[in-house]
Amino acid sequence: MELKKDYIKFQSEISRRRIEYLIHFTPTINLYSILEQGKLMSRRVLENLDVEQFDIFDYIQFTDSVRYDDKSFINLSISGPNTFLFSKFQERTKDDITINWCVLKIDPKHIYEKDTKFAVTNAASNAAKSIGVTGDIEKFKMLFANNINIPFGVRDRLNPKFPTNVQAEVLVKDNIPIESIIQVCFDSQKSLASAKAALSEFNTSNFVVDKEIFSPNRAI
């Protein structure tokens, strides 16, 4: 993994804020291709390799843009999922028995990977674009600012490990190896058992039940 030139500054900020993981949520149906390919991949990489994966955005239509224009990046959040978006996905798929959800906890070292970018809110939004989606340490620190000129941009009493806006994003380019996936989290023992059974040919030792990570308490 190629690092940013000032990666030590990022490491210091990650340590100071006690950020233990990045987050990516996905339908469990996608775990097979992730484990088979040995990596979590951006849409562009998936398309280039002709890898079939369930794209929830093809299934659910939103009235506004919620996904970053550049297909080369994987959308992640810090310390907890983008619950604003995640709750919408869960609500709109609740009657489809083929769709279950899991949350991937990912090594935060990808924050200081060379091409990683940061957005103070959803990267596809005009608010994020007006401030800029860039990869510098100042933009990373801005994710945790007390006041950001965006909707829901006031920090208030938040745990230091959480960004100010719940939709803040870390954008990692191309792919993330499965070795960087700390845990694959499920909201029930039943969901965990089902996934383990379906993926028995793979190493599922890091599959766990962690109901809290699906909607963590962001307050101090």
Q: What is the pLDDT of residues 107-127, one digit of tens each?
A: 999 999 999 999 999 988 889
Q: Answer yes or no: is 205 within a domain.
A: yes
State yes or no: pLDDT of 62 exceeds 70. Answer: no
Domain that holds residue 195: 7-214
Number of domains present in the structure of the chain: 1
Residues 6+ apart with CB under 8 A from 91: none
Per-residue pLDDT at 44: 82
- 180 inside domain: yes
Look at residue 219 and tell me if it is in a domain: no
In a domain, 185, yes or no: yes
The reply to whether 155 falls in a domain is yes
**Would you call 208 helix, strand, or coil by DSSP?**
strand
In a domain, 2, yes or no: no
Nearest to 81 by CA among 220, 219, 177, 218: 218
- The amino acid present at 7, given as its one-letter code, is Y
Percentage of the chain beyond pLDDT 70 is 91
Average pLDDT, the chain: 90
The answer to whether residue 1 is domain-embedded is no
Contact predicate 201/35, CB 8 Å: no
The answer to whether 199 and 31 are in contact (CB under 8 A) is yes
- Between 14-28, 37-51, 134-148, 203-217, the lowest mean confidence (pLDDT) is in 37-51
Question: pTM for the full model?
Answer: 0.92
In degrees, rounded to 5, the angle at the alpha carbon of residue 32 between the alpha carbons of residues 73 and 40 is 20
Q: 161 in a domain, yes or no?
A: yes
Q: What is the mean pLDDT of residues 161-176?
A: 96
pLDDT of residue 94: 87
